[in-house]
Homo-oligomer: A and B are copies of this chain.
């Protein structure tokens, strides 16, 4: 029988903590932790929208993901020093933005923008799923702020959204992979799911080999379970 190094069962999340308003800066923020993975999510609410949205009466939500140079076991050069952003950073920033936009009614946001900064302070696998889960909390707090300050009159949030990783490690599907499991995974999948249980995004990759329809179904079952629990934790943090 497969045992995980951290003794979790196969369908168990790591210890997840969401500390809302960890920062004073930002219209909303939280520090989200999935085990040792630690991401600071900050929402900046600003008047105005990108040029291509001007005059539409609608708002915009976008995200920027980044990692501190020593978030990981060995130090990586800063992207600002290298003078360009890597493909992975771009990819994750775009994913977070799409995931959040899926639950926002842009017409209720008015011509305002919310930027979600997800800065990974410490990385131990699952930084993109922690970022999405935390960014939703920061976004909610920024929406509350805008309602309180009467910048918007009704909440543009149609649903909540959370994300979790699943993967097949040593032939066994399991939930919420830390770095140590992630590097060994044959298949790796990130799933973004709304509070009401629908899919926003599925990104499954066979890192080593391929996967079949049955394996896919097992992984999706695990993801749905994990996302449900994250939804509850988000509710708690926002209560």
Which residues in A have some Cβ–Cβ distance to B below 8 Å? 23-26, 29, 36, 40, 42, 44, 46, 64, 66, 68-75, 78-91, 93-94, 98, 102, 115, 117, 119, 121-123, 159, 189, 194, 197-207, 209-213, 216, 220
Q: Beyond A64-B78, A201-B204, is A70–B90 a contact (Cβ under 8 Å)?
A: no
* Whole-angstrom CA separation of A52 from B69 in the bound complex: 20
Q: Is the CB of A25 within 8 A of B72?
A: yes
* Whole-angstrom CA separation of A203 from B83 in the bound complex: 29
Neighbour of A70 across the interface among B78, B117, B209, CB < 8 A: B117
Number of copies: 6
Which 4 residue pairs of A and B lie closest in terms of their CB atoms, listed nearest first? Answer: A87-B90, A198-B210, A79-B80, A80-B80
Distance in angstroms from A178 CB to nearest chain B CB is: 13
Q: Is the CB of B194 within 8 A of A200?
A: no
* Whole-angstrom CA separation of A19 from B14 in the bound complex: 25
* Whole-angstrom CA separation of A69 from B64 in the bound complex: 10
Q: Is the CB of B46 within 8 A of A75?
A: yes
Distance in angstroms from A135 CB to nearest chain B CB is: 13
Which chain B residue lies CB-closest to A72? B25
Distance in angstroms from A129 CB to nearest chain B CB is: 16
